[in-house]
Amino acid sequence: MKLPSASIYAQLPTERANPRVRGLDRMSVIKVVRAIAREDLRVAVAVGRQSPAIAKAAEAAARSLAKGGSLVLVGAGTSGRIAVMEAAECPPTFNTKPSQIRAVMAGGRPSVFRSKEGAEDDPKAGRRVGAGLRKEDLLIGVAASGITAFVRSALKAASAKGCVTVLVTSNGRPPGKPASIVIAPDVGPEVVAGSTRLKSGTAAKLVLNTLTTAAMVRLGKVYDRWMVDLRPTSYKLRLRGVRITALLGRVGPKEAEELFDASGGSVKTAIVMARLSCGARKARSVLKAAGGALRRALGERQ
């Protein structure tokens, strides 16, 4: 893949000067902070306008996971680090396996902690990522510019394997068809021209949070507003699991803790045990028959 020309980069909205922060270096610190805050307010609105595309991607992600596929997030620089963070946070929140939702950072693991900006210009590395996927997998490429060689090559290779592909960018829809689904919130020029760790990074974080959470809701990993499929890997998460068990199981704190322990730390199982007055084995069987959906297991209308 040929790298984009200098003129193409110069035309990107995030490379342009933001007229609303003219004279930034002459402002007082409080005015700089307020200017950044005002610009950040625009991000949530821009992401909200992409709701149809995000919903389409979330549906595709849920289908992929339901078929045994994986979600693979790829990116470079800030975009890559946000992808890594998203993938890392799904297991404790939704009890997914690390292999189900994983991230690949341009330049490898060391680039997560120390900048290796030239890695984004390596199309061969991107192609290897995409070519290593299965048809059931879904690739999400995160690239503020929308034209990062590492990400675009990964998307192209994954598409050739028959995968659904998603591009998350903040510079409008790139020419051609870079992905099956393009999510492109228009965040406009950055406060510091070209510094996409600012509004573009915030937009990418919001998009990925929304996309994965919506997919997990679709897969039954959320009941009402509660994360009933959490993994109690910390004291805080254990306490949360017991509280949710008490609330949804309609039992007292002490009984909830006993049920939670008897369930092996599974909130869903503990709730079914409480509501159906059964043991852990029976509760797991009921949940399995319900496809893991707690409402269905409890005989409630979906």
pLDDT for 68 equals 96
Residue 12 confidence class, pLDDT cut points 50, 70, 90: confident
Q: Report the pLDDT value the prediction gives residue 5, as an integer from 0 to 100.
A: 62
Averaged pLDDT score across all residues of the chain: 94
Q: Which residue, among 63, 146, 69, has the nearest Cα to 102 in the 3D structure? A: 69
What structural domains and CATH numbers belong to the chain?
Answer: 6-218 (3.40.50.10490), 235-297 (1.10.8.1080)
What confidence category does residue 6 fall into, taking pLDDT thresholds of 50, 70 and 90? low
pLDDT in tens, 117-134: 778 888 999 999 999 999
Q: Select the more confidently predicted residue: 14 or 274.
A: 274
Active site residue 86: no
Task: Establish whether 89 is a catalytic residue.
Answer: yes
pLDDT at 114: 85
pLDDT over threshold 90, residue 7:
no
Q: Which of 118-135 are b and which e, b meaning 16 or more Cβ less than 10 Å from the residue's Cβ? A: ebbbbbebbbebbeebee
| Residues 217-249 pLDDT 10s | 999 999 999 999 999 999 999 999 999 999 999
Please report which confidence band the pLDDT of residue 175 belongs to, taking 50, 70 and 90 as the band edges.
confident
Query: The pTM is what?
Result: 0.91
Which is the catalytic residue, given 39, 120, 190, 257? Answer: 120
User: Does residue 80 register a pLDDT over 60?
Assistant: yes
Over range 23-44, report the average pLDDT.
Answer: 97
Of the residues 89, 136, 255, 258, only one is catalytic, namely: 89
